[in-house]
């Protein structure tokens, strides 16, 4: 078993746990959860993704390039457009896309570009073109969440006017066993490997990063 095989197996387990948790939270919520095909509330505005998310997205795009090259080419066109729109004032390395800076700087940058759609979102259908490879944040957005004791609100389209008891009943912790952190720690092979980026830069071809 190679390192890549181990990584793929661990990521598959992580995604299965995340998807199972989301399904259970949605089952408890019933009609309070508005998520569904064509809803793109969580697809507007940039947000940080991990190296593991970036790896998964690149593999997903590679598979799509083989199976549906035209759709993959459309994604790349949107990726290039989005990356160019993000370069000005980028909080980090605008060539490779690695983020840096304090929380306030990052939040300010994301807020100013909050209307930029994800390049993986098909504007015609409102669906994700790399759905099976989507980042962890995309897989868990919707229900109310809990992360190591910290709580996060649900999607603004979900749980509208829901009683507090209902919201809390549906709150779930996406990764209570810390599988994602364990995988990321194994991906750290040298100083500086612990970084985050944005989806457009994760999918930007290398030739464009050096242009």
Task: Give the Cα separation of 197 and 200 in Å (integer).
Answer: 9
Residue 1: its pLDDT value, please?
A: 40
Residue 113: its pLDDT value, please?
A: 95
Residue 148: its pLDDT value, please?
A: 80
Backbone angles phi, psi at 130, to 5 degrees: -125, 45
Q: Is 163 helix (H, G, I), strand (E, B) or coil?
A: coil
Residue 36: its pLDDT value, please?
A: 83
Structure tokens at 50: 């991990």
Of residues 95, 11, 13, 116, the one with CA closest to residue 53: 11
Structure tokens at 149: 């004791």
Residue 29: its pLDDT value, please?
A: 92
Residue 189: its pLDDT value, please?
A: 62
Q: What residue segments make up the domains of the chain, in order of their start?
A: 3-209
Q: pLDDT of the chain along its 211 residues, tens only?
A: 458 889 999 999 999 999 999 999 999 999 999 888 888 888 999 999 999 999 999 999 999 999 999 999 999 999 999 999 999 999 999 999 999 989 999 999 999 999 999 999 999 999 999 999 999 999 999 999 998 888 999 999 999 999 999 999 999 999 999 999 999 998 866 656 789 999 999 999 976 664 4
Residue 210: its pLDDT value, please?
A: 47
Residue 147: its pLDDT value, please?
A: 87
User: Model pTM?
Assistant: 0.91
Measured CA to CA in angstroms, residue 58 lies from 42, 101, 134, 140, 199 at distances of: 20, 25, 10, 20, 10
């Amino acid at each position: 078993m190679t390192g890549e095989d181990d990584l793929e197996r661990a990521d598959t387990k992580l995604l299965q746990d995340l998807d199972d948790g989301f399904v259970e939270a949605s089952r408890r919520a019933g009609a309070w959860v508005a998520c569904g095909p064509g809803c793109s509330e969580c697809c507007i505005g940039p947000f940080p993704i991990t190296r593991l998310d970036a790896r998964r997205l690149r593999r997903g795009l590679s598979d799509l390039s083989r199976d549906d090259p035209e759709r993959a080419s459309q994604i790349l066109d949107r990726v290039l457009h989005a990356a160019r729109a993000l370069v000005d004032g980028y909080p980090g390395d605008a060539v490779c896309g690695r983020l840096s800076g304090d929380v306030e700087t990052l939040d300010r940058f994301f807020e100013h570009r909050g209307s930029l759609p994800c390049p993986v979102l098909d504007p015609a259908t409102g669906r994700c073109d790399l759905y099976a490879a989507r980042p962890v944040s995309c897989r868990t957005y919707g229900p109310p969440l809990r992360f190591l004791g910290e709580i996060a609100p649900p999607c603004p389209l979900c749980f509208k006017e829901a009683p507090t008891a209902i919201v809390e009943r549906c709150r779930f912790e996406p990764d209570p066993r810390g599988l994602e952190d364990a995988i990321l720690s194994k991906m750290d092979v040298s100083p500086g490997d612990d970084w985050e980026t944005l989806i457009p830069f994760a999918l930007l071809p290398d030739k464009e990063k050096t242009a």
